Amino acid sequence: MSPKITTELLKQLRQVMKSPRYVQEPVQAYIVPSGDAHQSEYIAPCDCRRAFISGFDGSAGTAIVTEQHAAMWTDGRYFLQAANQMDNNWTLMKMGLKDTPTQEDWLVSVLPEGSKVGVDPSIIPADQWKRMSKVLRSAGHDLVPVKENLIDTIWTDRPQRPCKPLIVLDLSYTGVSWRDKIVALRSKMAERKVVWFVVTALDEVAWLFNLRGSDVEYNPVFFAYAVIGMNTIRLFIDGDRMMDPAVREHLQLDSTLEPEFKIQVMPYRSILTELQAVGAGLSPKEKVWLSDKASYALTEAIPKAYRYLTPYTPICIAKAVKNALETEGMRRAHIKDAVALCELFNWLEKEVPKGTVTEIIAADKAEEFRSQQKDFVELSFATISSTGPNGAIIHYKPVPETNRTLSVNEIYLLDSGAQYKDGTTDVTRTMHFGTPSAYEKECFTYVLKGHIAVSAAIFPNGTKGHLLDSFARSALWDCGLDYLHGTGHGVGSFLNVHEGPCGISYKTFADEPLEAGMIVSDEPGYYEDGSFGIRIENVVLVIPAETKYNFKNRGSLTFEPLTLVPIQTKMIDVSLLTQKECNWVNDYHQKCREVIGAELERQGRHEALRWLIRETEPLIRVQ
Amino acid sequence: MSPKITTELLKQLRQVMKSPRYVQEPVQAYIVPSGDAHQSEYIAPCDCRRAFISGFDGSAGTAIVTEQHAAMWTDGRYFLQAANQMDNNWTLMKMGLKDTPTQEDWLVSVLPEGSKVGVDPSIIPADQWKRMSKVLRSAGHDLVPVKENLIDTIWTDRPQRPCKPLIVLDLSYTGVSWRDKIVALRSKMAERKVVWFVVTALDEVAWLFNLRGSDVEYNPVFFAYAVIGMNTIRLFIDGDRMMDPAVREHLQLDSTLEPEFKIQVMPYRSILTELQAVGAGLSPKEKVWLSDKASYALTEAIPKAYRYLTPYTPICIAKAVKNALETEGMRRAHIKDAVALCELFNWLEKEVPKGTVTEIIAADKAEEFRSQQKDFVELSFATISSTGPNGAIIHYKPVPETNRTLSVNEIYLLDSGAQYKDGTTDVTRTMHFGTPSAYEKECFTYVLKGHIAVSAAIFPNGTKGHLLDSFARSALWDCGLDYLHGTGHGVGSFLNVHEGPCGISYKTFADEPLEAGMIVSDEPGYYEDGSFGIRIENVVLVIPAETKYNFKNRGSLTFEPLTLVPIQTKMIDVSLLTQKECNWVNDYHQKCREVIGAELERQGRHEALRWLIRETEPLIRVQ
């Protein structure tokens, strides 16, 4: 990887930072945030402004350019990558290290008195604006909105915003019509005495209208906003996608409907002016509900006294609880996904010893097997196919420069998933195609114990996921090992592979309580830098549990694994398992054999079936 | 308990709320917070203003009086008590219930437009002021500081502020001189570029100067503030306590000292004017460090741009990490405490069957045995002596109206502790003096498993205590049982029995990481309403652990119990324990026998020694 040469670009940016054509007054610093106008985790090429100006294209990072400096804040996952991709114009600010200043503190330390700091108000989340603005103001500077994005003014070959056709999801997939979702949303609005609700997150728009898109890679979403009133529905969306007869019928655009379900389609870009009109027309005590992560521009469109901001929207919370049909879809998707992985691992077992399978070839093969399955749409994230030391890079993605050949001497870690029309998958298995060392088996077994501790945990209804995180670490901690990432994240239903508002992580406190129907991942790991990586990940469904005393009728919850892919028994040191843990593995493998076996049989995949049968032989624990 | 009649008092309060003698403009509501000017958990009688005006004397509660209403906010521990103690003038606002409005929202709903809400600025914490003020302002009202406390104006027989003699703690107890503590504090101040530090919490003043007092029951503190500059030390304290030669010598008030260690003694009440003078004399970039829980009045004395506020002060953090001599003192205190409890339980075993021992008698007897021990000062909190259904009331304190006789048919729960000059104790044991039921034993054993899970936990250096909370619940959760309080709190060294900044609770996220030398309690429980309560509490010391891989040199931690009192084996269902748990109990009891046995022997307490030997017989687990 050679760094991007940014000298000329930075010169141009510094010119527009002073140009009266774009800024009312010159700005002495310009912030380039990571996200798009919807605070998406995955973004479209036209929104990769930070990568354009700096060369660094990791998923998280904020660039700040002043007249003298150019600095990039990113976290531990990306220190190496950012250092490789950026030229000497840039200073890397390693977040999480003790001596690294925050963006605000750094700005205060380098700016001349009374400076203006510019940022695109349609991209910066309102909560972040508030925090930065406060610190800057107290130091005598000003955070100012710059309406025209300054990167766009110098980005001559900036790609078009994608505007791809929509996919209509019928009731057999979604379980609830968009009309019923609107009714439920309006009832939540009425509860909080709110008269307008602004949908800004792309997956929330998609979920609400039972539509999917492909504007962003891996995330089946499309660029749109929605504004829901008690009697109005406005959908802000571009292109001729609304000309598609299937979409028109689905949204009943040409039917005579009760006025409160009539969707007004408006141009994507008109959201700001429309919202300003809404803001200007409010009567006293009328409130407008927005996510506190909505952009500063949209938030400001509503006068402060009328805003109702929450960290999680009612759509985010409703979307997280999957209904019976969504759950069934997720089950089907995971069965198909398991079939593909049985095929893959059977194939790898034969091919790896020949020394011709690289990380990239393995990832491509996994995609090939997945694409053979019904209703396959695309991958749900960039496949992490990593062997040996690459496995210790938690967010590794093989590229030609790092591509390593799989061998019988190294651990192989595959973290991959797909979007099927009936569900989203995300699974990690760690395999050895030769003979693992005692130490590798020991570490793998601790990770497995942690995985089981979460998966088999029983807890009262309403428990927040972060309270389960330590269960995943206890076995590792006992021997002085740990891993530096959370244990699980919410998973969408044919939607984003990472979604809120729940998860299992020591890093958060503001997650919503777990309830039956939520779907999260369970993925503890262990990473030995320069040597190997281990992770065992299942997607699990929150289900009611049966307990002796049932928490005084509060209700008991536990998890059911949706992922049904064998966990390599060769990697397990059975002597480290308790009888209960051993039974868990055997029960899990029995279920894999039954459910996935039947599907492999049905699809006529006999060799993969034989592999499955062999890999699901029960463990025997010698007392 | 009959309620306090408050009609006349409320009438008087409403008069002064309008009286130009006390308020510049009439206030339409007056807030009476729970705490004193130091945000103490335990307060002196002169500060019990909320109890005076309402009758409700629980440890937490906020009263608000308007022209029409009088309302009391308190939490679940006190619903019953508050309802019993307050007359019909008062509305009970049950915090934590879904429909209960916040104080701010309630005020907005009942006040006429443009109202003024008064509060004593020297009592309300700055963070709370900020929150309330914001909500009130956005609804068109004003929160205004009323300098003279309006309760005090109508409280004719208000007790004097206590002003009792001080206790000097020499280096053999504290391990570090107050001069060295000042040096360490100044180095923390220099790190943060702070020129003044304001000590507002009573236990922080006491710790800093190696002094103790008895102005507040159970907490060995005295009313004082301190303001530390880089070359100045100001101690704000009343009375003739500074005339005590021992105190004068300890503080070197009459010695020729380097000026930066010369203590200026000033009147307690002058803190505000002195701080205002400090605030007025600051140069640009000079900052003053305060706790964000300091009173609004003190915080406002420093202009906003000069304030440096943190949730935990450097004193709070330093105080939490006990040095070698403090730890030794805590060990000694816990040995003496265990001797007293062995005597008590031996006595109870003989007396309870006679049917003459009430909860109050048992509590008094516990105090009697403790007071026989060397360096005993007082109890560290009101003894929770509860039998049968009273045990399910988590913060129960026996009073004549509720006093129950101990019997061989009910579980007895004793949560008690003392202040010794060398340390503070807090221990809970749950006993049965007859034959416990299978269900009682089952519940007790789950609680014990949780207690052991925390006590024996191994975790990486820097882990926050809240991440260990679920370990205490796991065994209970497996059968559908839980308890609704945190698992542990920090414990002071001959200081407050509850102290920050660390603990073990699902309720907090902002605790500081645990480190070796910190001392916390480990106290899971289970409560069956109307029937019984179970809690097993040890005070434990954070110590380095030996692990196989030691977290890549990050270091491993675990706990060592300081409390050495037998856990009643009669209550344990051994078949529910793992071998590891069984070994833990046996090792613990072996240590009790050795350490406490030796001390009982030394003190010639032979009968209690025989009781100890019997109660520490090893458990035998049948495989």
Tell me: the pLDDT tens digits for A499-530? 999 999 998 878 899 999 999 999 999 999 99
User: Which chain B residues touch A305 with a CB distance below 8 Å?
Assistant: 138
User: Which chain A residues touch B305 with a CB distance below 8 Å?
Assistant: 138
Strands across the sheet with A224-229, in order?
Answer: A263-266, A233-237, A224-229, A194-199, A287-291, A307-310
Cis peptide bond prior to B436, omega within 30° of 0: no
Asked if the Cβ–Cβ distance from A480 to B305 is below 8 Å, we say no
Specify burial of residue B551 (Cβ count, 10 A radius: 0-12, 13-18, 19+): buried
Q: Is residue A14's pLDDT more than 70?
A: yes
pLDDT of the residue at A524:
98
Specify burial of residue A355 (Cβ count, 10 A radius: 0-12, 13-18, 19+): exposed
A vs B, Cβ pairs < 8 A, gives 70
Look at residue B290 and give its three-state secondary structure: strand
Asked if the Cβ–Cβ distance from B477 to A460 is below 8 Å, we say yes
Which of B458, B460, B480 is opposite residue A547, by nearest beta carbon?
A: B480
Q: Are B406 and B358 in contact (CB under 8 A)?
A: yes
State how far the alpha carbon of B355 is from the alpha carbons of B177, B363, B407, B408, in Å. 52, 16, 6, 9
Residue range A348-369: average pLDDT? 98
Largest distance between two CA atoms of chain A: 79
In 3-state terms chain A splits into helix, strand, coil percentages (rounded to 5) of: 40, 20, 40
Asked if the Cβ–Cβ distance from A477 to B457 is below 8 Å, we say yes
Written as one string, the DSSP assignment of B412-449 is: EEEEE-EEETTEE--EEEEEESS---HHHHHHHHHHHH
Which of A470, A478, A479 is opposite residue B467, by nearest beta carbon?
A: A470
The C-alpha atoms of residue A348 and residue A370 are separated, in whole angstroms, by: 15
State how far the alpha carbon of A107 is from the alpha carbons of A55, A594, B49, in Å. 22, 60, 47
A510: left (phi over 0), alpha (psi -120 to 50) or beta: alpha
Interface check for A528 against chain B (CB to CB < 8 A): the answer is no
The C-alpha atoms of residue A598 and residue A618 are separated, in whole angstroms, by: 18
H helix or E strand, kind and range, residue A247? helix A245-250
Asked if the Cβ–Cβ distance from B548 to A480 is below 8 Å, we say yes
Asked if the Cβ–Cβ distance from A547 to B506 is below 8 Å, we say no
pLDDT of the residue at A172:
96
Distance from CA of A558 to the nearest CA of B (A): 10
Q: Is residue A107's pLDDT more than 70?
A: yes
The C-alpha atoms of residue A227 and residue A197 are separated, in whole angstroms, by: 6
> In A218-356, where do the E strands start and end?
224-229, 233-237, 263-266, 287-291, 307-310
Share of chain A above pLDDT 90, in %: 92
Torsions phi, psi for A264 (to 5 deg):
-90, 120
pLDDT of the residue at B623:
67
A window 384-403, beta carbon within 8 A of B: none
Q: In chain B, which stretches have pLDDT less than 70?
A: 1, 623
Vertex A518: Cα angle to A516 and A522 (nearest 5): 110
The C-alpha atoms of residue B239 and residue B220 are separated, in whole angstroms, by: 17
Mean pLDDT of all residues belonging to chain A: 96
Signed CA dihedral, A258, A259, A261, A262: sign only = positive
Global confidence as pTM: 0.94
* Closest-approach residue (CA) in chain B for A467: B470
User: Which chain B residues touch A556 with a CB distance below 8 Å?
Assistant: 477, 480
Distance from CA of B480 to the nearest CA of A (A): 4
DSSP A371: H
User: Which chain A residues touch B623 with a CB distance below 8 Å?
Assistant: none
Which of B304, B458, B506 is opposite residue A478, by nearest beta carbon?
A: B458
A window 444-473, beta carbon within 8 A of B: 457-460, 467-471, 473
Asked if the Cβ–Cβ distance from B549 to A471 is below 8 Å, we say no
The C-alpha atoms of residue B252 and residue A551 are separated, in whole angstroms, by: 59
Asked if the Cβ–Cβ distance from A547 to B458 is below 8 Å, we say no
How crowded is residue A431: how many other Cβ atoms within 10 Å of its Cβ? 21
pLDDT of the residue at B285:
83
Which of B457, B467, B478 is opposite residue A506, by nearest beta carbon?
A: B467
Residue range A124-130: average pLDDT? 94
Interface check for A484 against chain B (CB to CB < 8 A): the answer is no
Residue predicted with more confidence, A484 or A349: A349
* Closest-approach residue (CA) in chain A for B526: A551
Place of tokens 């009262």: A460
Look at residue B201 and give its three-state secondary structure: coil
User: Which chain B residues touch A308 with a CB distance below 8 Å?
Assistant: none
Asked if the Cβ–Cβ distance from B305 to A138 is below 8 Å, we say yes
User: Which chain A residues touch B467 with a CB distance below 8 Å?
Assistant: 469-470, 506
Q: What one-letter code names the amino acid at A298?
A: L
Place of tokens 């069956």: B528
A window 214-253, beta carbon within 8 A of B: none
Distance from CA of A181 to the nearest CA of B (A): 25
Q: Are A481 and A532 in contact (CB under 8 A)?
A: no
Tell me: the pLDDT tens digits for A281-332? 999 889 999 999 999 999 999 999 899 999 999 999 999 999 999 999 999 9
Asked if the Cβ–Cβ distance from A547 to B478 is below 8 Å, we say yes
Written as one string, the DSSP assignment of A174-186 is: HSS-HHHHHHHHH
Distance from CA of B558 to the nearest CA of A (A): 10
Residue range A384-412: average pLDDT? 95
Four-CA torsion B107, B111, B113, B115, nearest 10 degrees: -80
Interface check for B474 against chain A (CB to CB < 8 A): the answer is yes
In 3-state terms chain B splits into helix, strand, coil percentages (rounded to 5) of: 40, 20, 40
Tell me: the pLDDT tens digits for A532-543? 999 999 999 999
The C-alpha atoms of residue B58 and residue A604 are separated, in whole angstroms, by: 72
Asked if the Cβ–Cβ distance from A550 to B480 is below 8 Å, we say yes
Closest CA to A320 of A485, A465, A166, A420: A465
pLDDT of the residue at B129:
96
- Report the complex ipTM: 0.93
Asked if the Cβ–Cβ distance from A479 to B548 is below 8 Å, we say yes
User: Which chain A residues touch B481 with a CB distance below 8 Å?
Assistant: 549, 551
User: Which chain A residues touch B457 with a CB distance below 8 Å?
Assistant: 474, 477
Interface check for A556 against chain B (CB to CB < 8 A): the answer is yes
Asked if the Cβ–Cβ distance from A471 to B470 is below 8 Å, we say yes
Signed CA dihedral, B432, B436, B438, B440: sign only = negative
Residue range A368-378: average pLDDT? 98
Closest CA to A66 of A32, A34, A33, A20: A32
Which of B458, B480, B509 is opposite residue A477, by nearest beta carbon?
A: B458
Q: Is residue A391's pLDDT more than 90?
A: yes
User: Which chain A residues touch B109 with a CB distance below 8 Å?
Assistant: none
Q: What one-letter code names the amino acid at B47?
A: D
A window 292-321, beta carbon within 8 A of B: 304-305
The C-alpha atoms of residue B320 and residue A42 are separated, in whole angstroms, by: 43
Asked if the Cβ–Cβ distance from A474 to B470 is below 8 Å, we say no
pLDDT of the residue at A285:
83
Mutate to test the interface with A, among B135, B304, B306, B477 (most CBs of A within 10 A): B477
Asked if the Cβ–Cβ distance from A549 to B305 is below 8 Å, we say no
Q: Is residue A623's pLDDT more than 70?
A: no
Distance from CA of A461 to the nearest CA of B (A): 10
Q: Which two tokens stand for residue A622?
A: 């010698």
The C-alpha atoms of residue A522 and residue A427 are separated, in whole angstroms, by: 9
Torsions phi, psi for B423 (to 5 deg):
170, 170
User: Which chain B residues touch A470 with a CB distance below 8 Å?
Assistant: 467-468, 470-471
Asked if the Cβ–Cβ distance from A547 to B459 is below 8 Å, we say no
Residues 6 or more apart whose Cβ sits within 8 Å of residue A553: none
User: Which chain A residues touch B471 with a CB distance below 8 Å?
Assistant: 470, 474
Which of B457, B471, B549 is opposite residue A481, by nearest beta carbon?
A: B549
Tell me: the pLDDT tens digits for A182-223? 999 999 999 988 999 999 999 999 999 999 999 999 999 999
User: Which chain A residues touch B550 with a CB distance below 8 Å?
Assistant: 480
Asked if the Cβ–Cβ distance from B551 to A474 is below 8 Å, we say no
Distance, CA of B203 to chain centre: 11
Interface check for A550 against chain B (CB to CB < 8 A): the answer is yes
Which of A470, A548, A549 is opposite residue B468, by nearest beta carbon?
A: A470
Strands B224-229 and B194-199 turn out to be antiparallel
Distance from CA of B304 to the nearest CA of A (A): 9
Written as one string, the DSSP assignment of B99-160 is: TPPPHHHHHHHHSPTT-EEEE-TTTSBHHHHHHHHHHHHHTT-EEEE-SS-HHHHH-TTPPP
Look at residue B10 and give its three-state secondary structure: helix
A242: left (phi over 0), alpha (psi -120 to 50) or beta: alpha
pLDDT of the residue at B261:
97
pLDDT of the residue at A1:
64
* Closest-approach residue (CA) in chain A for B504: A467
DSSP B165: P
Closest CA to A527 of A425, A434, A416, A446: A446
